Structure 1
Amino acid sequence: MELVDRKKSKSMRRRKKRIPILILLVAVIVLIWGYFYFSIAGNVETLALAREGKKWGFIDKDGVEIIPFKYDMAWKMSEGLALVMKNGKWGFIDKNDHIKIPLIYENAHPFSDSLAAVELDGKWGFIDHKMKIIIKADYEEAISFTENLAPVKKGGKWGYINKSGAVIIPFNYTSAYLFSEKLAPVGVNGLEGFINKDNIMVVPPHFDFVLPFAEGLAPINKNGKWGFIAKNGKVIVAPKYEQTWGFSEDLAPVKINGKWGFINRRGEEVIAPKYEDAFVFLNGLAPVKVNGQQGFINKDQEIIIKFKYDYVDAFYDID
């Protein structure tokens, strides 16, 4: 399962963002976000990205600071490495705050499918964990690999490459995002839909915006309102929300009348909309915002980590 990161990437500029643009983290991705969804396993080590004031660090599920709040910006940890930024340059650290890949890149995305997209001298390529260039920096933009394909931009259009750098889906799209559950959001003439890995349009581009599928449903935006569709394009939850993220652990955060709550797959309200902000449940906890500060609740709405941070992300598995 892949979760949208709340991304800082330029490629996600049109997608809704959970934090101000100067401190965006896929993107959701957000993002990915992805909207990237990551598998959840029991008894695994997890960390959450957090911000106090202007500095970023990482905490554990007890709220204990694991990586000090010293970075100008940071992104979630994946495949044992976290993306961090100081003095305008990005690199990677491990869970012990040791630098594993020097902070030399102009921009980057977290590791996914064993590779990370990085920007150097205005062009994007991909490196491995040892900093070896696997796909040379030849693209105007790039996002992460998922399901062995990565969206990349060349000549003003988006397509998809494999890990050998071969073009699998031609550069025909005005926007593109990660594959999740074998489908990927793409843009055609200002509208978005979903293609499969054979470049067949499975869900026609009828929507203003879409986000990747998670747990069988995808967020879609029509006329400024968000809802959810199934993989056959059928509307499951009618567009009525001001914002939303995808489903995770059977719940999705939604915003209505200026407040965030959570719904189930039938569109039924499970947690009433009362929070100033919210993100998805991962490893049993969800970040929410109360009185300008963020912390974590469980599905019983019990406060697990106090509201004391300027920003928190979900608890992702370290590896």
Structure 2
Amino acid sequence: MPKLLPALLLCVLLPAWAAGEPARFSIRQGDRYGAIDASGKVVIEPQYDAELRFSDGLAVAALGSKVGVIDVDGKVVISPQSKVGLGSGEFAQEVSVASLIAGPFSEGLALFRMGRKLGYLNRSGAAVIAAQYDQAEGFSEGMALVSVGGRWGSIDTAGKWLIEAQFDKPYRFQEGLAVVLVSGKGYGYIDRKGKFAIPAQFNYAYNFSDGRARVQLKDGYGYIDRQGKTVLEPTPEYRAGADFREGRTPVRVEGKGWGYVDAQGGFAVAPQFFSAREYSEGRAAVAVGDFRNHQWGYIDVNGKPSGAARFQQAESFSEGRAAVLVPRAGYGYVDAAGELVIGPLEGVSQVEPFSAGLARVWFNPSAGRWGYIDRGGKLVWKAEP
């Protein structure tokens, strides 16, 4: 049976474009990869051995055993012959920059690997932060997570410690706070200076979203605000399983089904659904019926249906479109009114959300054959058989 790509995989595949950066979409023809623009025009001819994933206006490009960096127009920015000096004195050496690139560019820097250590290169291929970390991630808002000796901390783009390596697990800042684990105490929240805003006390905790965070206490999951105050107490009757989105989060009540609570912990949409997903662009996918026989549809923030529940699957909205699976017909996309405006698409076995005006649709995932459609459903590019 055809199925949608897993949500986590979709997050990896979706391109993220900086303001003013031309959108580029990876294409594959045979065993070679290139890129098109939002109109479907090929701007980088298929010639590389791995999929191009642009970030910060650059993409790592593999050609045979060599790896370089290109810009959105296909111009070589760092060639495999580029050299960088590492070490000093008798340990000084020159190595191929491109052969060491270990991650995409973010905020002008990319990870590179030297032996078992990681450091950062700039867009010219110069090593600006020496390879010294056991694990490291890309920069976001001037900060990158790095690990030394099994402890995690944060550095700035000059390699200066912003938060000393001290935590047991990596963390992510969201809405100014990050979840951290403290041995023997549990999970808490720190600010961007590394100071605790909410003391470590929870069995488990998630990042903040819409000013609320899901946390686990002994009785189950509940929600807290940014001051650590509980806005929805965990009880055996409630099942909280998602983040807040657009002021709502789905909650299951034993014997009644799924509904949505608001930021104050009260029900904005009464529990009544067989299943429910997070809101996106003012709509949430919900299922009516039971385990053996249920259909998916959409509701607005007040619980009013947007068209009839009639789909086998229903995904989140992105750029005014949401992917659905029409029983015995195939995949398509609906608008905010719940009307099918694209499809069902012939020969398509997997679909992805819209991003920068296009959505990737798969004709033969096992063979790596895909294409792109625009918001009107027009196929702007498709790999040849």
TM-score range, shorter chain: 0.5 to 0.7
Q: 1:271 aligns with which of 279, 285, 309?
A: 285
Query: Secondary structure of the equivalent of 2:139?
Result: coil
Structure with greater Cα Rg: 2
Unaligned runs of 5+ in 2: 1-5, 81-97, 252-257, 259-272, 288-295, 297-311, 358-385
Taking the aligned partners of 2:32 and 2:332, their CA distance within structure 1 comes to 16
Structure 2 Cα separation of the partners of residues 125 and 91 of structure 1: 17
Q: Which is further off, 65-74 or 173-182?
A: 65-74
Selected match of 2:50 from 44, 64, 72: 72
Q: How does 1:93-108 map to 2 (within 5 A)?
A: 93-102=70-79, 104-105=98-99, 108=102
Q: 1:289 to 1:101 in 2, by over 3 A?
A: farther
The aligned residue for residue 7 of structure 1 is none
If asked which structure has higher relative contact order (CA below 8 Å, sep 6+), I would say: 1
Matches within 5 A, 1:16-31: 18-19=8-9, 25=12
Aligned 1:206-285 pairs, distance under 5 A: 206=202, 208=204, 210-211=206-207, 213=208, 216-217=211-212, 230-234=225-229, 240=239, 247=245, 250=246, 261-263=277-279, 270-272=284-286, 274=296, 278=315, 281=318, 284=319
TM-score by length of 2: 0.52
**Structure 1: where are the runs of 5+ without partners?**
1-15
Matches of 2:274 and 2:76, distance apart in 1: 41
Which amino acid in structure 2 is aligned with residue 272 of structure 1?
Answer: V
Give 2:355's match in structure 1, choosing from 310, 315, 319: 315
The reply on whether 1:149 has 2:126 as its aligned counterpart is: no
What aligned pairs does 1:1-319 form with structure 2 within 5 A after superposition? Answer: 18-19=8-9, 25=12, 45-47=22-24, 71-75=49-53, 77-83=54-60, 91-102=68-79, 104-105=98-99, 108-189=102-183, 191-205=186-200, 206=202, 208=204, 210-211=206-207, 213=208, 216-217=211-212, 230-234=225-229, 240=239, 247=245, 250=246, 261-263=277-279, 270-272=284-286, 274=296, 278=315, 281=318, 284=319, 288=323, 290=325, 299-300=336-337, 308=348, 310=350, 312=352, 315=355
Matching residue of 2:303: none
Contact 2:285 2:316 in 1 (8 A): no
Shift of 1:200: 1.4
CA–CA distance in structure 2, aligned partners of residues 294 and 55 of structure 1: 27
> Which whole-Å deviations, capped at 9, do the CAs of 1:258-290 have from their partners, x for residues lacking one?
97744269xx96333547685673xx2567474
TM-score (norm 1): 0.61
The structural deviation recorded for 1:89 is 7.2
RMSD value, Cα: 5.2
CA distance 1:290–1:153, shift in 2 (3 Å): farther
Q: CA deviation at 1:155?
A: 0.4
Listed one character per residue, the Cα deviations across residues 203-258 of structure 1 (whole Å, up to 9, x for unaligned) are: 344253524x45545566789x988654334566888466x5785xx489989999
Whether the 8 Å CA contact 1:49–1:314 is kept in 2: the answer is no
State how far apart, in whole Å, the 1-side matches of 2:32 and 2:216 are.
33
C-alpha distance in structure 2 between counterparts of 1:170 and 1:163, whole Å: 15
For residues 161 and 219 of structure 1, what CA distance do their matches in structure 2 show? 27
CA distance in 1, matches of 2:56, 2:280: 30
Aligned-pair identity in percent equals: 22
Please state whether the residue corresponding to 1:143 is helix, strand or coil: strand
Shift of residue 176 of structure 1? 2.0
Measure the CA separation in 2 of the matches of 1:68 and 1:294.
29
- What CA distance in whole angstroms lies between the structure 2 residues aligned with 1:82 and 1:300? 38
Contact 1:261 1:269 in 2 (8 A): no
Shift of 1:146: 1.9
* Code of the aligned partner of 1:94: D
